[in-house]
């Protein structure tokens, strides 16, 4: 999640501009066999709302890179964020699916026809993509189980109904899912204590609060999928290495729930639990602060204990990822997490994660939380992809824009489509492409069996070079990239 206002680091917004043509150097005979040198620069884009990315600085490449359009991928992944929808659709309960009016679905907005079964529709798209690309891993960016995660008593049921039965296509069934937890997995903004969603209650002591913070996580981490044990959540921090055909990808799965935008503070205040208990209006949760009645009933000691736990998870991730990534010889190093440094964190936290990316040579950072899609590029070469429209919560394109002196926005999705990212790794390039619905889909609203299943429309696409951390090259846009309005819903 969230659909609310994002944090925005100090910046000057720019009007959209057409970027410059990419500078390409051909090296004699190498050019004849499809080898080119790509200096960091900016390509011409199509139908785009684009901010100019930062200029390349530093040494030029010392060796030719293969033409990215001709590169044969050795490894492919899919990546999806904020996908874990609520139960009850069979009984007409919209849950997280739709925009509401007077407590019910707003049928005045045509988008409800897409929204109601959006998780299932995106799962169908992923199955089609997997049939074509044969991904070796799926990255999940958290918010796996709306609204409030799972407990020891309801984990099995939730996994069966909103994971196993949804992503049950043959092409998806045996692929390992690399997961992290988001704010909604560890409590969201209601009571943390309790063994199932319908039995959440006020914690009786500091020790019980800390205990249930661990139990919430363990309820997901300890799950064993009947399909090749595909559910992976080995810790708040863990590394997955994938190697094939002399290409190695390290995925650093990190916990960033200390974020400021609907992160640790909202989880630890448990405001919606306390407003219900104390008879307070829910609007106080929009800006609840430690010491307020809406924040752990005013108990600052409990709040601080909770935040210490959350900060500890982030600190472990930061320290271990920096050490592991700096010493890694992997061809590509990528981050999988729930939050963005520049959209969801204050400047101090943002700079800590930027330093990790700079120092450790992180090629790409993937996160969810905001229910939309965009692509930002740093001046040292790390690419940041916001990828939070996986169907667990209705999309709301409020990705904003960043221009903070270190990172610029390259692309933001038009409209509010659902979708995911496809990742393809060759020996020289990481290709990242947005995937959504094509125009063959006809959505059936509350009646899934009235939906006409279409295919995949691929959109924004970028090639990221493996050498970026040496020469600060920012890569090149794919020939197939489409930056205009595609997918659904496009309005509302």
- What's residue 11's pLDDT? 38
- 13-22, 277-286, 461-470 — which is least confidently predicted? 13-22
Please say whether the beta carbons of 50 and 377 come within 8 A.
no
Binned at pLDDT 50, 70 and 90, residue 62 comes out as low
Rounded Cα distance, 144 and 247, in Å: 30
- What's residue 385's pLDDT? 98
Does 57 score more than 60 pLDDT?
no
> In 3D, which of 158, 171, 180 has the Cα closest to residue 80?
180
Question: Across the chain, how many H-helices and E-strands are there?
Answer: 11, 20
Rounded Cα distance, 345 and 355, in Å: 14
Side by side, which strands form the sheet with 429-437? 231-232, 177-179, 137-140, 75-80, 420-425, 429-437, 456-465, 476-477
Number of neighbours of residue 101 by Cβ within 10 angstroms: 11
Give percent above pLDDT 90 in the chain: 80
Binned at pLDDT 50, 70 and 90, residue 25 comes out as very low
Tens digits of residue pLDDT in 63-97: 688 999 999 999 999 999 999 999 988 887 889 99
Please say whether the beta carbons of 383 and 377 come within 8 A.
yes
- What's residue 202's pLDDT? 98
Rounded Cα distance, 324 and 316, in Å: 12
Does residue 236 form part of some domain? yes
CATH code for the domain of 308: 3.60.21.10
473: tokens are 């090259």
Q: Is 476 exposed, middle or buried (0-12, 13-18, 19+ CB in 10 A)?
A: buried
What is the rounded average pLDDT of the residues 178-184?
98
Does residue 339 form part of some domain? yes
Number of neighbours of residue 380 by Cβ within 10 angstroms: 20
63: tokens are 């060796």
Strand bridging mode 407-412 / 383-387: unpaired
What is the rounded average pLDDT of the residues 408-429?
97
Does residue 9 form part of some domain? no
- What's residue 89's pLDDT? 85
- What's residue 111's pLDDT? 96
Mean confidence (pLDDT) of the chain: 89
Does residue 26 form part of some domain? no
- With tokens 């209006």, the residue in question is 281
162 to 119, 155, 393: CA distances (angstroms): 9, 10, 13
Does residue 216 form part of some domain? yes
Does residue 166 form part of some domain? yes
Q: Is 372 exposed, middle or buried (0-12, 13-18, 19+ CB in 10 A)?
A: buried
Q: Sign (positive/negative) of CA torsion 462, 179, 78, 445?
A: negative
Angle at 357 (CA atoms; ends 261, 355), nearest 5 degrees: 80
Rounded Cα distance, 115 and 107, in Å: 11
Tens digits of residue pLDDT in 203-232: 999 999 999 999 999 999 999 999 999 999
Number of neighbours of residue 167 by Cβ within 10 angstroms: 26
- What's residue 378's pLDDT? 96
Who has greater pLDDT, 491 or 410? 410
| Number of residues assigned to the chain | 492
Does 283 score more than 80 pLDDT?
yes
Does 33 score more than 90 pLDDT?
no
Domain assignment of residue 460, given as a range: 72-464
- What's residue 467's pLDDT? 80
Rounded Cα distance, 353 and 342, in Å: 9
21 Cβ contact list (under 8 Å, min separation 6): 41, 43, 44
Number of neighbours of residue 240 by Cβ within 10 angstroms: 16
Number of domains in the chain: 1
- What's residue 196's pLDDT? 95
Does residue 355 form part of some domain? yes
Does residue 6 form part of some domain? no
Does 16 score more than 50 pLDDT?
no
218 Cβ contact list (under 8 Å, min separation 6): none
Please say whether the beta carbons of 347 and 266 come within 8 A.
no
Does 26 score more than 60 pLDDT?
no
- What's residue 413's pLDDT? 96
Q: Is 316 exposed, middle or buried (0-12, 13-18, 19+ CB in 10 A)?
A: middle
Segment 448-451 long-range contacts (CB within 8 Å, at least 24 positions apart):
448/117, 448/120, 451/117, 451/121
Tens digits of residue pLDDT in 112-161: 999 999 999 999 999 999 999 999 999 999 999 999 999 999 999 999 99
- 130-139, 253-262, 352-361, 392-401 — which is least confidently predicted? 392-401
């Amino acid at each position: 999640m969230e659909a609310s206002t994002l944090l925005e680091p100090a910046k000057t917004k720019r009007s959209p501009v057409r970027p410059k043509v990419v500078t390409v150097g051909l090296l004699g005979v190498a050019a004849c066999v499809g080898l080119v040198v790509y200096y960091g620069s900016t390509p011409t884009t199509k139908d785009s709302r684009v901010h100019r990315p930062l200029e390349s600085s530093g040494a030029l490449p010392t060796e030719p890179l293969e033409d990215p359009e001709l590169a044969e991928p050795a490894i492919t992944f899919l990546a999806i964020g904020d996908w874990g929808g609520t139960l009850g659709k069979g009984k007409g309960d919209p849950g997280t699916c739709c925009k509401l009016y007077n407590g019910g679905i707003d049928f005045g907005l045509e988008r409800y026809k897409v929204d109601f079964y959006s998780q299932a529709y995106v799962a169908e798209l992923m199955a089609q993509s997997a049939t074509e690309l044969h991904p070796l891993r799926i990255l999940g960016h958290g918010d796996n189980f709306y609204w409030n995660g799972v407990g020891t008593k309801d984990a099995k049921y939730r996994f069966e109904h909103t994971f196993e039965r949804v992503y049950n296509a043959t092409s998806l069934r045996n692929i390992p899912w690399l997961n992290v937890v988001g704010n909604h997995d560890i409590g969201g903004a209601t009571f943390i204590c309790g063994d199932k969603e319908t039995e959440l209650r006020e914690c009786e002591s500091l020790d019980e609060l800390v205990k249930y913070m661990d139990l919430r996580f363990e309820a997901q981490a300890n799950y064993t999928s009947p399909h090749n044990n595909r559910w992976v959540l080995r810790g708040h921090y863990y590394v997955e290495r994938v190697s094939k055909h002399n290409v190695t990808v390290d995925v650093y799965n990190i916990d960033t729930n200390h974020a400021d935008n609907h992160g640790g503070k909202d989880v630890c205040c448990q405001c919606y639990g306390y407003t219900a208990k104390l008879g307070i209006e829910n609007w106080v949760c929009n800006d609840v602060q430690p010491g307020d009645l809406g924040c752990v009933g005013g108990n600052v000691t409990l709040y601080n204990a909770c935040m210490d736990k959350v900060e500890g998870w982030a600190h472990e991730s930061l320290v271990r990822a920096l050490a592991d990534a700096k010493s890694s010889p992997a061809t590509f190093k990528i981050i999988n997490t729930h939050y963005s440094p520049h959209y969801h964190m204050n400047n101090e936290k943002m700079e800590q994660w930027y330093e990790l990316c700079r120092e450790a040579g992180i090629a790409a950072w993937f996160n969810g939380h905001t229910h939309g899609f965009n692509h930002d590029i740093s001046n040292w070469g790390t690419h940041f992809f916001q990828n939070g429209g996986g169907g667990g919560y209705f999309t709301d394109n409020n990705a904003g824009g960043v221009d903070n002196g270190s990172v610029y926005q390259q692309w933001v999705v038009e409209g509010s489509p659902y979708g995911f990212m496809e990742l393809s790794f060759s020996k020289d390039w990481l290709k990242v492409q947005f995937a959504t619905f094509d125009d063959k889909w006809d959505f059936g609203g509350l009646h899934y069996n009235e939906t006409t299943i279409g295919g995949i429309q691929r959109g924004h696409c970028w090639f990221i070079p493996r050498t970026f951390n040496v020469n600060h090259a920012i890569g090149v846009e794919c020939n197939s990239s489409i930056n205009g309005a595609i997918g659904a819903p496009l309005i509302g």
